[in-house]
Amino acid sequence: MEEIANLFNGFATVLVPFNILLMVIGIVLGIIIGILPGLGGANGVAILLPLTFSLGQTPAGQVSAIILLSCIYWGALFGGAITSILFNIPGEPWSVATTFDGYPMAQQGRAGEALTAAFTSSFVGALFAIILITLLAPLVAGFALRFGAAEKFAVYFLAFASFIGLSKEPPFKTLTAMAVGFALGTIGNDQITGGLRLTFGITELIPGFDFLIAVIGLFGIGEILLTMEEGLSFKGREAKINAKVVVQTWKELGKYWWLSLRSCIIGVWMGITPAGATPASFMSYGIAKRMSKRGKNFGNGEIEGVVAPETAAHAAGTAALLPMLALGVPGSPTAAVLLGGLLIWGLQPGPMLFVEQKEFVWGLIASMYLGNVVGLIIVLTCVPLLAAILRIPFGIIAPIILMFCAIGAYTVRNSFFDVIMMLAFGILGYVMKKTQYPLAPLVLALVLGDRAEEAFRQALISSGGGLGIFFANWLVSSIMLLGFIALFWGLISAGIAKLRGARPATAA
């Protein structure tokens, strides 16, 4: 009951005219970001993070700032479906599966039906995950209050190991990207001894790399360079959504309640683990195709082929915020960027956030509910207008985005050095994308590396240097064991598959 009361207090915090205005602005900006191919939620939140600097200086302003950022994220989640269905261009990686049946539906003159199904499914997936966050996040955070330095390090180890072992990327590439992030995170002051590390006499490096500079460069500049290289031309279908189409589609969606529920569960699981929204959408689509009576017609304009990936992707994208809020461990690249925003405003994500910043936490959770409702209304009413953005040449849009990136980087410390470092990170991001190295592990290591190192060294100091502290009780032992299972999951699953394959042969 306490959670319900806190949630209502959160609604009271959010429901003021200024915050509602920010909500609408955030959703519209997010939809535009989601529509523009290549940018994506994480990139958009990173580029627009400097807009929240002035907002995040007061407790009330911090709530407003996170509302703006989170609504940009919700908007980007909605926007990705528009280009997938109308233009056959996925605005987001997780929207690729939506193109399989969404674009054929648009070609058949059923664009309104496909878009309504996509937006409604997205809303349902996100709502399911938000309810889960409301119920589970306080429990997880309350449990995490028992954690000492060893337990904190074990949680960080579990996060790093999960990214390596459970990610869809090759483990070597994930490990390499993470190592680069750790190396960059060590630059500057040593938090335990106060000594300088890897500054090479450059005074601007003494405070270390600001997280914001890195994410703007890696996500924003890198993606724009890649998009400019590829060149884009848009040829799509016109779409109109009216009340009749919406009502008819909603009636039809009721038949697929089990498909929606199954996709929600897949999405939430993939979101809490670092697998993310893209594998969730493909997995949900694949299972739906296998289990549907009309599976053979998937790819030719089946509405189930739109419902499954959109529901799972939004459930995953939203559920990724659960470990970030409760444990301070982001479950996705966008959650990592949001976590960076919280750190910049002086907030410490994790269990203490639920004790020390109740108004902020429950304001954020309440804004998730309202942001998705506002997002659904906006996308259902403004699709033709928003899709027209793709008629603007990317040659005009790209310089504007680059200008915002440069201004954002400069305003962090009023230093031109940061703009240069942003460009350097942009080149690094471009090279990594070209060579198909994942950015998320690098960002995760950059954000959490120093905190994991601090917890590791504090635990060792308290134990007199003995590694046994990480297996000293059932709690830390369990988390470490889960970490090792996640780390070697590829080998473990291959071994299980081999045993299953060998069993029938032995029996024969």
> Tell me: the pLDDT tens digits for 182-199?
888 888 888 777 788 887
Q: How confident is the model at residue 11 (pLDDT cuts 50, 70, 90)?
A: confident
> Tell me: the pLDDT tens digits for 353-364?
777 777 788 888
> Tell me: the pLDDT tens digits for 317-330?
888 777 777 777 76
> Tell me: the pLDDT tens digits for 261-290?
988 888 887 777 655 676 677 778 878 887
pLDDT at 430 over 80: yes
Q: How confident is the model at residue 496 (pLDDT cuts 50, 70, 90)?
A: confident
Q: How many helical (H) and strand (E) elements, i.e. helices and strands, does the chain have?
A: 23, 2
Taking the C-alpha atoms of residue 313 and residue 384, their distance in angstroms, rounded to an integer, is 23
The whole-number pLDDT of residue 139 equals 75
Please tell me which residue, 50 or 241, carries the higher pLDDT value: 50
The pTM for the full model equals 0.69
Residue 367 amino acid letter: S
Strand partners, 197: 188
> What's the average model confidence in pLDDT over 120-136?
87
Taking the C-alpha atoms of residue 281 and residue 287, their distance in angstroms, rounded to an integer, is 10
Q: 187-194 long-range CB contacts below 8 Å, 24 or more apart?
A: 191/450, 191/453, 191/454, 192/454, 192/457, 192/458
Q: What is the DSSP string of 239-277?
A: ----HHHHHHHHHHHGGGHHHHHHHHHHHHHHHHSTT-H
Please name the residues in contact with 387: beta carbons below 8 A apart, sequence gap of 6 or more. 35, 82, 83, 86, 87, 236, 239
Residues 322, 272 contacting (CB under 8 angstroms): yes
* Residue linked to tokens 């529509």: 35
> Tell me: the pLDDT tens digits for 30-50?
887 777 655 666 667 777 777
> What's the average model confidence in pLDDT over 454-475?
86
> What's the average model confidence in pLDDT over 377-381?
83
